[in-house]
Structure 1
Amino acid sequence: MTNALDLTAPVDTLAMEFTREFDAPVEALFRAHADPELVKQWLGPHGLEMEISEWNFTSHGGYRYTHSNDQGTFGFNGTFHTVRDNEFIVQTFEFEGAPDMVNIEYMWFEDLGNGRSRLRGRSICPNTEARDALLSSGMEGGMTEGYEKLDELLKNL
């Protein structure tokens, strides 16, 4: 079963919000976000290789990774401000191709019972131009593909 991604950009805000359900327990969903070896298997669209150079998944820890394909290498970095196991993450997110355009991202992990979970997120951009650039970059398609890969990974956790 494929669960649909619901991605919205509320009018007159700097935010993008998403919701996605998974046919897996909340503990497995959270682990797939916490463990860098698992993150490499699902984060991002098809056709990208991922290399993680830093992944300190703790409150006040940091991260940096790159995605590569035949068109180049794209770097991303940020700080995990708050990490609460199986429940909540606050982090920053910066695409190194657009320096100083740092987003603040919130993710809530919800136990739906019966081995199912929901991930809700909100990303706040520094300005509407940055938000609209992300939305027009194919972000929704990339998120959908990444979550489809995550569905497959979660079957084996």
Structure 2
Amino acid sequence: MGDTEFVIEPGRQDIVMIRAFDAPRDVVFRAVTDPELIPRWWGPHWLDTRVEAMEVRPGGRWRFVNIDASGREYAFSGVYHAVLRPERLVRTWEYEGAPAEVALETVTLEESGGLTRYVAQSVHPSVEARDAIVRADGAKGGAQSMDRLAEVLKGR
């Protein structure tokens, strides 16, 4: 529990985000796969989120739209490649403002003693694409999402 940890090594194409939650694995899995819960935690705290598509199955599509206070929209989308309940999701994701920068994300949930360790590894098409996410403060947005998810899980 507590802070979100990031592993961002120079010269690599991936970002690893790690967070421990005080909740059983099946509850965390539900929170990350339930389209009614996604708007409560996905994205930085200053943006609202709209779920336009979320078919949590291999080959299923997803699309989330973040909306800022002025109504400007930022869309993210992808395809689920593997769904192993309640331990792992594999999906692509891209920011639609930068098409062709598709990342492959694997989310693994490990339960131990009532806590769930959430590990998300996003592999980007190049070191430059990964570094662009880092420069755009992607880690800050990810950490805020994880803080918001922790709040949702408290109210389970």
1:119 match: secondary structure: strand
What amino acid sits opposite 1:4 in the alignment? D
What amino acid sits opposite 1:98 in the alignment? A
1:133 match: secondary structure: helix
1:150 match: secondary structure: helix
Give how far 1:11 is off. 2.7
RMSD over aligned Cα atoms: 1.2
The answer on 1:68 being equivalent to 2:62 is no
For normalisation by structure 1, the TM-score amounts to 0.94
Give 1:55's aligned residue: 54
Give how far 1:120 is off. 0.8
Q: Percent identity?
A: 32
For normalisation by structure 2, the TM-score amounts to 0.95
The 5 Å alignment of 1:1-157 reads: 3-69=2-68, 70=70, 72-113=72-113, 115-157=114-156
Deviates further, 133-142 or 92-101: 133-142
Deviates further, 3-12 or 133-142: 3-12
Give how far 1:71 is off. 6.6
Residue deviations 1:72-128, cap 9 Å, x none? 210111001000111011100010000111000111100012x21101121110111
Q: In structure 2, what is the Cα distance between the partners aligned to 1:15 and 1:143?
A: 14
Q: In structure 1, what is the Cα distance between the partners aligned to 2:71 and 2:126?
A: 27
Q: In structure 2, what is the Cα distance between the partners aligned to 1:152 and 1:135?
A: 25
Q: In structure 2, what is the Cα distance between the partners aligned to 1:91 and 1:82?
A: 7
Gaps (5+ residues) in structure 1?
Answer: none
Q: In structure 1, what is the Cα distance between the partners aligned to 2:141 and 2:20?
A: 17
The runs of 4+ residues in structure 1 deviating greater than 3 Å are none
Deviates further, 140-149 or 81-90: 140-149
1:37 match: secondary structure: coil
